[in-house]
Amino acid sequence: MAERSFKKEVETLRKGKGEVWQGEGILAVTKALLENGVGYVGGYQGSPISHLMDVFADADPLLKELGVYFENSASEAGAAAMLSASMMYPVRGAVTWKSTVGTNVASDALSNLSSSGVLGGALVIVGEDYGEGSSIMQERTHAFAMKSQMWLIDPRPNLESIVKAVSDGFNLSEASNTPVILQLRVRSCHLYGQFIANDNKRPDYSLSEALNNPERDVNRIVLPPASFKQEQEKVKSRMPRALEYIKKHKLNEVFQGEREDIGIIVQGGLYNNLNRALALSDLSDHLGNTKISTYVMNVTYPVVPDEIAEFCKGKTSVLLIEEGQPNYIEQNLSLILNQKGIDTKIYGKELLPEAGDYTIGVIQKALPKFLDLAEAENVRAAREKQWVSLLNPEDKELLETEVPVRPAGFCTGCPERPIFAALKLVMENLGDHHISADIGCHLFSILPPFNLGTSTMGYGLGPSSASAFNTINMEVKDQKRVISIMGDGGFWHNGLNSGIGNAVFNNHDGVIIIVDNNYAAATGGQDVPSSKNENPIRSTKNSIENAVRGVGVKWVELIDHTYDVQKMVKIMTKALTTTEGGPKVIIAQSECSLNKQRREKKIFRQKMKEEKRVVKERFGVDSKVCSGDHECMRLSGCPSLTLDYSENPLKDDPVAKIDNSCVACGNCGEVAEAAVLCPSFYKAQIVNHPGAGERMAHNFKKKIINYLQKRRDRKRIRA
Amino acid sequence: MSVAKKKNEPIKIALLAVGGDGGGVLSGWIRMTAEDNGYWAQSTSIAGVAQRTGATVYYMELMNKEGLEKDGKIQTPVLAQMPAPFDIDIVMATEIMEAGRAMYRDFVSDKTTLIFSTNRNLAIKEKETPGDGILDGRSIVELAEKHAKKSLFGNLKLIAEQHKSVISASMFGALAASGALPFTKQQFLDTIAKTGIAVQASSNAFNGAYDYIKDFIAKPKPYEPALKKAEIPAMPSSSKNKTVAGFINYIKSEFPKPIHDVVFSGVLHLADWHNATWAQEYLDKLKPFVAKDQGEYTLSFNLAKYLATAMAYDDLIFVADQKTRTERFAEVYDQIEAKPDDIVHTLDFLHPSFPEFYGFLPKKMGLKVSKNKKMEAWFAKRMDKDRRIKSTSLFWYLNLYFLGGMKRWRMKTFRHYEEMDNVDGWLGRIDRMLSQNYALAVDLAKTYRLKKGYGDTYARGHGKFWLMNEFIMSNADNGKAQKFAAHLMEVALQNPKVEALRKSIEEIEAN
């Protein structure tokens, strides 16, 4: 079950024609899918599209009513392959993932799908994780659209436009027999806004009809000679039909301004940034009444040559705002104008930065440069309104040193913290080792305070990225082994095969740590096949240990309580020093704290309400015993473990303190013991609603202790 | 009360929150208040890597619907998904460093009402520094006052906690009080009521912060860091306790006035750690140095401070005594927010190691055992393990109580001999240095700050202390020694490992 419940959001999916729908961008897309008669939905969770998956996972009754199939695909490749249901049957399908990473994984299936072509509308909804807040490499999905000849929709970032883009996408896909990518930037996925809803629609053609009336056409299968025909069909038939559809239905928009001689071309998703930059220079207002004619590319691939020609004709210069690199659109425009013999000058990345976010500030900087070069009036106004830094360099520098960075870290109570505390201790004992990291919460171990891990090559690829470091042909005495890390999410995504199976097959000598927290935790706590809880619509509780042994690993250690740091240290040490060959797999398993707390808090509250005996646990630090060295911090990074100055004015350095968000996971105490730190940590148990006997025993004990304390207090010397 | 806004200009709001501060809840409330009162609202957020512990920026734009009407229909405004530089009307930060981040990111300008809470959520860099890495935030307040139109601050988190609520509620109250939004106090409160969750607590925190900020606007308050070092209290003129009164008189007659307070604190510290005789011994050790102090008592002050901590080292008896005290029980109840009649058990995590074992033996025997490899191996095998003790159970309490009372034994132990040997060596070095270089003598006194802790930490601290002492002693004639010593001290306090200090010393010596 996901970290958050979406039952409330699911209700909004039931809204009908004319009702105002309010909420997040990615959920608006979810609603739009249902309004457009989608037949099946799949995908792989990841920021910023996780909520689409989570809402569908919670919407099972509604989906049943509508006859829509939804699954959490094993990977993006699996999701993309799912779209093949629309190849031969007129059923609409949609899949979703984080891009470009997910598109990378999916691209084999996407290539096949777009070569075969589709009959039913096929929509790939990508959360474009580019720019501020992104957690992945900075690349463009645009390249995938171009190479596979899929169409790319990048709508203006308001919910009406985004919702319209879903229906445009399906229609365009069907009109041109081509899968379509709907690209949404991070901010648009998290955008809160509104649109007027429509009724949900059952799919026109059901999957059951397809199964009962199977169809095949050898020309649709990617095998020679059909594959050659398909390539011809792409350029001769599908592309022209797509261009025609885009023109006819005006998917791209022109906003006429008073200036006829110059213009701006912008990707739909950047339109609001552009308009704000213009408005700040009095060249537009907040309703989008621009003074400079603007062509908004809601479809960024293919570029429509006729529309470009018509927009540019009669204009001396046009500014193109195209985010990311390489500048595919700019190249395309130059070619179109050249071929059509139009001598409009296109300004693109020569005025804007070649790489990085096109924020309002960035566009604001480029505008006067453009107006200047275009010899346009308004230039002075624009330049005057162009922002100048109000902070002098000294102030900026001061802020740079005075404002600490906040690297992402493990949550309070995270079961992965003790794993990396143990690994750090092992490194202190056995020396540093090469560690191949992976994608997931566990990747935070590369940041302070743990500072472990060398590389991350992709989801589930931790062990395979360690594969070159196989010691079987090395003859150095006391050869160190490579350590690789993988989460349960990555394990089921592809790591079981590409990591574990590969290590078995190649007799790899390395140590593989599988961090199993019972969920795909980093993406919001979705279930995976090995999740421990009951899930009414999925099969869970499939053991990772069995899977690992099943592919042939002999050396497997399962630790089902990661908080036991000493045991972790012992097993890691054993794995690194044993003489046994082959992969050494350690499965470190404890439940994600966010999910666990969500469940346990409810039970606690219920018991409190019923006045039943219930114990609340928390850790604390004896402030007078803590010496203020902060070694415990360097083995923790827990948000609840913090510092405060000592009451003792003779102590210079602040002492440890645990705040009331502590969930008593035990890492503090374990680490203090394992690293032989200090005796200041304690675990406190508050007994709520104790029994009468317990109360009596406590009072008796209290009397003795009070007597002894008072006895000694009398002798103490106080001011 | 509202900002003079053209009807067709949106109100722009940025909220910077640290994970767990309820930034999502707060931006939802602001949106709801706007929508219920004739505004179009849009918001977006950018979380740090995943949703976990990083800082998140929430950005909102609110637009009066009157400006959107055309032919009786509301047109969709074109609103920004991110702030334009220096174009935000209201910036809120749930923590003082985030207010700094807002300025660093060009959010704050002379049109900005900046509302921030002065509470601290320490960053990992501040926590992991072995010395004092806590930033005090003073420069951030100064810059805020310099750059923002209005700078409103206070410990809003504390206000929330006082009302058993969370910071999102008090921030909401502060926003209402700032007058930066064209809504009435009641309209804000209606939003809280409408959500129906913890309405009373949230409203109380809202009102607490509302009143505080109204008061602040009427009469701005100076900045008080949320985390402050304890100041050395003034020595009282007399005491009811005869022993203490005796010490006060003694200090008055034997020590110069400027160091009375610190010396008195030292006396109390040692009397508490051991007894009055031990406190007197402290004064006796200190006195000759004060007599020789020709400066403005800088050495005397520092020596009084560090000698007091040096003579009260952390040993088993100290730990046991601390864990059985009345104040300890009070601190536990306070920390975990338990009521006085609650039943509370504590489980303590101890791990006495070999040095603690032989240190507890009588001097001669301890010395022998400390060098006995066989004993060490035996200890590692049989004794070197975790001791989790339920310190509130009668059995363990009595054990600890007994151990905490073994003060007479303490003076006979090998550990005591070792510690005092070290203190005497250190005092000897300071004494020798005092005749050569006053400033370096002060630096020597300060090196005792590095010695602290238990187990491995203790070993590291002692290593650093020793390296610093060696360096200073061998550089008495070096004109730059003082500058080097200050730098090395900084290195020692910033880096946990002894190696970093050793490397820095090598670098200096190589040049």
| Distance in angstroms (rounded) separating the CA atoms of residues B333 and A340 | 81
- Percentage helix, strand, coil for chain A under 3-state DSSP, each rounded to 5: 40, 15, 40
- Per CATH, A253-385 and A416-591 having the same topology is answered yes
Q: Is the Cβ pair B50, A441 closer than 8 Å?
A: yes
pLDDT grade for B45, boundaries at 50, 70 and 90: confident
Nearest beta carbon to residue B322 from set A444, A622, A673:
A622
CA distance B156 to B168: 9
Whether the bond into A449 is cis, omega within 30 of 0: yes
H helices of A304-359, in order, are 305-312, 328-340
Nearest CA in chain A to B301: A650
Q: What are the sequence ranges of the domains in chain B?
A: 11-218, 230-312, 316-407, 413-511
Strand locations in A206-327, DSSP E? 253-255, 259-267, 292-297, 299-301, 317-321
**For residue A323, is pLDDT > 70?**
yes
Residue with tokens 């201790």: A425
Residue B277 has pLDDT above 50, yes or no: yes
| Bridge partners for A284 per DSSP | none
Whether residues A400 and B265 touch (CB distance < 8 A) is answered with no
Answer whether A696 touches B (CB < 8 Å): no
pLDDT at A644: 96
Among A48, A50, A54, CA closest to A134: A48
Please judge whether A717 and B268 are an interchain contact, meaning their C-beta atoms are less than 8 angstroms apart: yes
B-facing residues of A in 270-299 (CB < 8 A) are 271-273, 275-277, 280, 285-288
Q: Which pLDDT score, from 0 to 100, does residue B2 have?
A: 38
Q: Which of B47, B345, B496 sits opposite A133 (nearest CB)?
A: B47
Whether B453 sits inside 8 A of A391 (CB atoms) is no
Residue in B with minimal Cα distance to A158: B78
Would the CB atoms of B140 and A399 count as touching at under 8 Å? yes
What digits encode the pLDDT tens for the residues B204-243? 999 999 999 999 999 999 999 999 999 999 999 999 999 9
Contacts of A402 in chain B (CB under 8 A): 97, 100, 135, 137, 139-140
Q: Mind telling me how many Å the CA of B180 is from chain A's nearest CA?
A: 21
Among A4, A117, A121, smallest CA distance to A53 is for: A4
pLDDT 10s digits, A629-665:
899 999 998 999 999 999 999 999 999 999 988 999 9
- Nearest-CA distance from A560 to chain B in Å? 20
| DSSP H helices in A36-120 | 50-58, 60-66, 76-82, 85-88, 101-116
* Dist CA B486 CA B482 (whole Å): 6
- Which among B268, B308, B496 has the least Cβ separation from residue A631? B496
Cβ neighbours of B392 in A, within 8 Å: 701, 705
pLDDT digits (tens, 9 = 90+) for B292-325: 998 889 999 999 999 999 999 999 999 999 999 9
The reply to whether residue B129 touches residue A630, judged by beta carbons under 8 angstroms, is yes
Chain A residue numbers touching B227 (CB-CB < 8 A): 643-645, 654
How many angstroms separate the CA of residue A712 from the nearest CA in chain B? Answer: 8
State the pairing for strand pair A151-153/A299-301: antiparallel
For residues B74 and B359, what is the distance between their CA atoms, to the nearest angstrom?
A: 81
A708 and chain B: CB distance < 8 Å anywhere?
yes
Name residue B358's amino acid. Answer: Y
Q: Does domain A9-248 have CATH number 3.40.50.800?
A: no
A633 reaches B (C-beta below 8 A): yes
| Mutation target among A459, A643, A657 for the B interface, most CBs of B within 10 A | A643
Q: Which residues pair with A619 in a beta bridge?
A: A683
Interface check A211 vs B, CB under 8 A:
no
Out of B31, B229, B345, the one facing A645 most closely (by C-beta) is B229
Give counts: helices (H), strands (E), chain B.
Answer: 24, 10
Spatial distance between the Cα atoms of A87 and A94, rounded to a whole number of angstroms: 13
Closest Cα of chain A to B213: distance in Å?
25
Please provide residue A708's backbone torsions phi and psi, each rounded to the nearest 5 degrees. Answer: -65, -40
Instruction: Determine the 3-state secondary structure of B436 from DSSP.
Output: coil
Residue-wise pLDDT tens digits, A88-102: 999 999 999 999 999
- Predicted local distance difference test score (pLDDT) of residue B352: 84
Q: Please report the DSSP string for A355-406 in residue order.
A: SS---HHHHHHHHHHHHHHTT-TTHHHHHHHS---SS-HHHHHHHHHHS---
Instruction: Give bridge partners of residue B349 from the DSSP assignment.
Output: B388
* Distance of residue B473 Cα from the nearest chain A Cα, in angstroms: 24
Q: Is B43 in Cβ contact with A682 (below 8 Å)?
A: no
| Distance between A248 CA and the closest CA of chain B, angstroms | 24
Burial degree of A418 (CB within 10 A; 0-12, 13-18, 19+): buried
DSSP 8-state symbol, B150: E
**ipTM (interface predicted TM):** 0.94
Sign, Cα dihedral of B130, B134, B139, B143: positive
The answer to whether the CB atoms of A449 and B124 lie below 8 A apart is yes
Before A583, cis peptide (omega within 30)?
A: no
Give the nearest chain A residue to B17 (CA atoms).
Answer: A406
Q: What is the predicted pLDDT for the residue at B353?
A: 87
Q: Does residue B384 carry a pLDDT above 90?
A: no
Task: Tell which residue, B120, B87, B63, B64, has the closest CA to residue B14.
Answer: B87
Binary contact (B79, A272; C-beta < 8 A): yes
CATH architecture of A416-591: 3-Layer(aba) Sandwich (3.40)
Contact A399 B342 (CB under 8 A): no
Contact A637 B101 (CB under 8 A): no
What is the rounded CA–CA span in Å between residue B155 and residue B158?
5
Under an 8 A CB cutoff, do A361 and B85 touch? yes
CATH of domain A610-713: 3.30.70
Query: Inter-chain contact B326–A713, Cβ cutoff 8 Å?
Result: yes
- At A356 the pLDDT is 96
Query: pLDDT tens digit string along A537-567?
Result: 899 999 999 999 999 999 999 999 999 999 9
Mutate to test the interface with A, among B78, B242, B260 (most CBs of A within 10 A): B78
Closest alpha carbon to A466 in A495, A429, A425: A495
The pLDDT of residue A533 is above 90 = no
- What mean pLDDT is predicted for residues B281-291? 97
- Is the pLDDT at A345 greater than 50? The verdict is yes
Q: Which of B18, B332, B461 sits opposite A406 (nearest CB)?
A: B18
* CATH code at B11-218: 3.40.920.10
d(CA B276, CA B265): 13
What angle do the packed helices B414-434 and B298-310 form, to 10 degrees? 170
CB spacing of A648 vs B269 below 8 angstroms? yes
Whole-angstrom distance, CA of residue A341 vs CA of residue B446: 80
- Whether A133 has a pLDDT exceeding 90, the answer reads no
Instruction: Flag if B128 and A634 touch (Cβ within 8 Å).
Output: yes
- Residues near A664 by beta carbon (within 8 Å), at least 6 away in sequence: A413, A617, A618, A619, A683
> Taking a C-beta distance cutoff of 8 angstroms, is the pair A195, A159 a contact?
yes
Which chain A residues touch B336 with a CB distance below 8 Å?
618, 620, 660, 684, 686
Could you tell me which of B391, B367, B369, B389 has the C-alpha nearest to residue B379? B369
Q: Is the pLDDT of residue B96 over 90?
A: yes
Tokens of B305: 């401070």
Helix H or strand E encompassing A539? none
Check B110 against A390: CB less than 8 A apart.
Answer: yes
Closest by Cβ to B42, choosing from A191, A675, A709: A191
Report residue A286: phi and psi, to 5°: -85, 10
Q: Average pLDDT in the A68-97 region?
A: 98
- Nearest-Cα distance to chain B for A49, in Å, is 12
A382-394 mean pLDDT? 73
The answer to whether A119 and A148 are in contact (CB under 8 A) is: no
- Indicate if the pLDDT at residue B410 is higher than 60: yes
Per the listing, tokens 């909520």 go with A51
pLDDT reported for residue B501: 97
Q: Does residue B400 carry a pLDDT above 50? A: yes
The answer to whether the beta carbons of residues B76 and A158 sit under 8 Å apart is yes
Q: Quick one: DSSP state of residue B342?
A: S
Residue B467: CB atoms within 10 A of its CB come to 19
Q: What is the mean pLDDT of chain A?
A: 94
Closest partner CB to A686 (pick from B20, B336, B349): B336
Task: Spell out which residues of chain A touch residue B496, defining contact as CB-CB under 8 Å.
Answer: 629-631, 634
- As a whole number of angstroms, the distance between CA B61 and CA B42 comes to 5
- Count of A–B CB contacts within 8 Å? 380
**What is the pTM assigned to this prediction?**
0.94
Q: Of A535, A474, A543, nearest to A509 (Cα)?
A: A474
Domain positions in chain A are 9-248, 253-385, 416-591, 610-713
CB A265 within 8 A of CB A295: yes
Cβ-defined contact of A448 to B128 (cutoff 8 Å): yes
What is d(CA A15, CA A197) in angstroms, rounded to the nearest whole number? 7
Q: Which residues of A touch B63 (CB under 8 A)?
A: 286
Any idea which fold A253-385 has? Rossmann fold (3.40.50)
Q: DSSP secondary-structure letter at A464?
A: G
Q: Comparing C-alpha atoms, which of A119, A185, A175, A108 is closest to residue A148?
A: A108
Confidence of residue B63 (pLDDT cuts 50, 70, 90): very high
**Distance between CA A300 and CA A296 in Å, rounded?**
9
Q: Does A653 touch chain B (CB under 8 A)?
A: yes
Q: Concatenate the DSSP letters of all residues of B349-395 into one string.
A: EE---HHHHHHTSBHHHHHHHHT-HHHHHHHHHHT-S-EEEETTSHH
